[in-house]
Structure 1
Amino acid sequence: MTKHLWDAWHAEHERKRADRHGFLAVTSLNFLDETPRRFPDAPGAWSTGPGGVVVDLTEGESLTVDGTEVTGRHSFGVLPERGGVSAGFGDAVIEVARRGGFDIVRPRHPDNPLLTGYRGTPAYEHTEKWEITGRYVAFDEPRQVTVGAAVEGLEHVYESPGRVEFEALGTPLALTVFNGHTPGGFFALFTDETSGVTTYAANRSLAIGAPAADGTVVLDFNRATNLPCAYTEFATCPLPPAENRLPVAVEAGEKTPV
């Protein structure tokens, strides 16, 4: 990738990060249980149980769900892990989701100071040095990998189809990968020797395209990005598996946010 293409990609990534209802707009993280509770940044009393998430809206309160105004009691049903729905509330969006086996409510307000004051994320200068060709090696069977989370006591489980082997700075390395958002693609969570120094200490994420017919893949660490937990305490981001702690300094991609 040329620097021109990287500049365009990074600008688009920053635009999405600063979306008015993106994670910079999150004002609280609330874990639900069977006791109905109200939150100062969302309407209604929220609870969850075997039938899923329920909100009880009092007179004068409403939400917009799938384009329809709802009042009174509304059931969001049982949500799948890493799934969720968004309910409108004036200029805000109320995220109702399931993370690490817990149902959560996470309001997103476009006037949140974290969002309105956001001025961008620093990154290393683009360099072809960190565009590395590796090889995807599939496991005999996909593995369920349990990793920690930015929230203490929370765990995430991801399916890993294999790992990517490569060499950087003369060192043979490998990353356990998870299934990505594009067909056949992957993503890897990792730390390296820059973590906690110039890059965010807990994790960075790298999207990897589908392997070629011979198994080769390109790891473009210029596209290593921060997860939401680098910006807000209200994120439930996964942490890298232990084997993805790279013993080299990956001086590419996004740095620690200011």
Structure 2
Amino acid sequence: MTLSATTDPLSAASDDPAAAHAAWRSERLLQVSGRTGAAALINYVPVDATEREIPEFPLSAWRIAEEPGVRVRAHTVGVTLRTGAGERELTPGVETFVERLGADGFPLIEYDRFTIDAFSLDGTDFELRVYDAEAPTVTSLTGIDTNPYDPAWVLSGTFHAGEPDARVPWGFTRESDNGHTKAVPGTIAVRVGEADYSLLVFADGPALVLVFADATTGAISYAPGRFLRLDPVPDGAPITLDFNRAFVPPCGFSDFFSCPIPPAHNRVSAAITAGENRARHTPSFSPHP
């Protein structure tokens, strides 16, 4: 899963951290409610060697083994492929290769209010994710319940690098994805509350991501846990964990995401009363019609 569309790295030091936090909150809401924001995901379609049509979209897709992406075929005019270099309309009936989602958020396939990206957890299998800019999870979203900025939750730890290119089997909110691996560059030694921890982080592009649970999880904040995105540092260097930037993972906005869940190392006994807690929707919203 790629997180660059759901949150920003820790910003540079600010003379007014509370104001920077408020700006981050506003940006987060724009991100998750955007055309390909987390709230817009309405479906995922596994892709294998059999060509199959994509619901909600005039497109079919299949995969050739060992390729780092999928093959697609548009069935009508108006289907656009967007890459970092620009965009072009796909010719109906003509086969096109689409690489999996990159760190820059591309490529994307668009038709009317719908968007598709190609995704793989670890390169062993692929799916197409379908977004709807007018999905009920978008139109009903009123905000993200977030704690006020608290400087006490800006903690300092030490990063300890692990084995180069290490990959670790991980658990996911979608049970069928359990056992897929995450790239784990190391651990962070940090004191949280009254206890010392060695927290496992995985790599997302150049950044580090901490998936954690704490005493608020499930009662106040989103279950099974929250994420914190960190700038990488060298082995043995200090690293800042600003839990004011802890955020609700994509599966907290759409049930169609498969999110990594906190491993045992990352279950903190203290109540981390900082960062985002849950998505807020209009009272009439029901995620399960």
TM-score tier (shorter): 0.7 to 0.9
State the shift of 1:209 in Å.
2.7
Change (3 A) 1:41 1:135: same
Residue correspondence of structure 1 range 1-258 to structure 2 within 5 A: 2-50=17-65, 53-58=70-75, 60-66=76-82, 67-70=87-90, 71-76=92-97, 79=100, 85-100=107-122, 101-139=124-162, 141-155=164-178, 156-182=180-206, 185-211=207-233, 215-258=237-280
Code of the residue aligned with 2:243 in structure 1: it is F
State the shift of 1:210 in Å.
3.5
| Structure 2 residue runs without a partner (length 5+) | 1-13, 281-289
State the shift of 1:56 in Å.
3.3
- What is the DSSP-based 3-state SS (H/G/I as helix, E as strand, rest coil) of the residue aligned with 2:27? helix
Task: Give the Cα–Cα distance (whole angstroms) in 1 for the partners of residues 37 and 111 of structure 2.
Answer: 15
Task: Give the Cα–Cα distance (whole angstroms) in 2 for the partners of residues 91 and 144 of structure 1.
Answer: 37
State the shift of 1:164 in Å.
0.9
State the shift of 1:207 in Å.
1.5
State the shift of 1:177 in Å.
1.6
**Aligned equivalent of 2:7:** none
State the shift of 1:7 in Å.
0.9
Task: Give the Cα–Cα distance (whole angstroms) in 1 for the partners of residues 242 and 47 of structure 2.
Answer: 39
State the shift of 1:174 in Å.
2.2
State the shift of 1:80 in Å.
7.7
Task: Give the Cα–Cα distance (whole angstroms) in 1 for the partners of residues 214 and 43 of structure 2.
Answer: 30
Code of the residue aligned with 1:225 in structure 2: it is F
8 Å Cα contact 2:99-2:118 kept in structure 1:
no
Code of the residue aligned with 2:203 in structure 1: it is N
- What is the DSSP-based 3-state SS (H/G/I as helix, E as strand, rest coil) of the residue aligned with 1:205? strand
State the shift of 1:160 in Å.
1.8
Change (3 A) 1:76 1:23: farther
Question: For 1:155-214, what per-residue CA distance to the aligned partner results, in whole angstroms no more than 9, with x for missing partners?
Answer: 4322222211111222112211223545xx422111112111111112211122344896
State the shift of 1:255 in Å.
0.6
- What is the DSSP-based 3-state SS (H/G/I as helix, E as strand, rest coil) of the residue aligned with 1:9? helix
State the shift of 1:257 in Å.
2.1
Change (3 A) 1:244 1:138: same
Q: Percent identity?
A: 25
State the shift of 1:26 in Å.
1.6
Question: For 1:44-98, what per-residue CA distance to the aligned partner results, in whole angstroms no more than 9, with x for missing partners?
Answer: 222223255223333x345212422112132325648988631121232222222
Change (3 A) 1:206 1:18: same
8 Å Cα contact 1:93-1:109 kept in structure 2:
yes
State the shift of 1:143 in Å.
2.6
Moved more, 114-123 or 237-246: 237-246
Code of the residue aligned with 1:20 in structure 2: it is R
State the shift of 1:218 in Å.
1.1
RMSD: 2.5
Change (3 A) 1:80 1:212: closer
TM-score, L = length of structure 1: 0.88
Task: Give the Cα–Cα distance (whole angstroms) in 2 for the partners of residues 79 and 123 of structure 1.
Answer: 32
Code of the residue aligned with 1:194 in structure 2: it is T
Task: Give the Cα–Cα distance (whole angstroms) in 1 for the partners of residues 258 and 102 of structure 2.
Answer: 12
Code of the residue aligned with 2:185 in structure 1: it is P
8 Å Cα contact 1:224-1:254 kept in structure 2:
yes
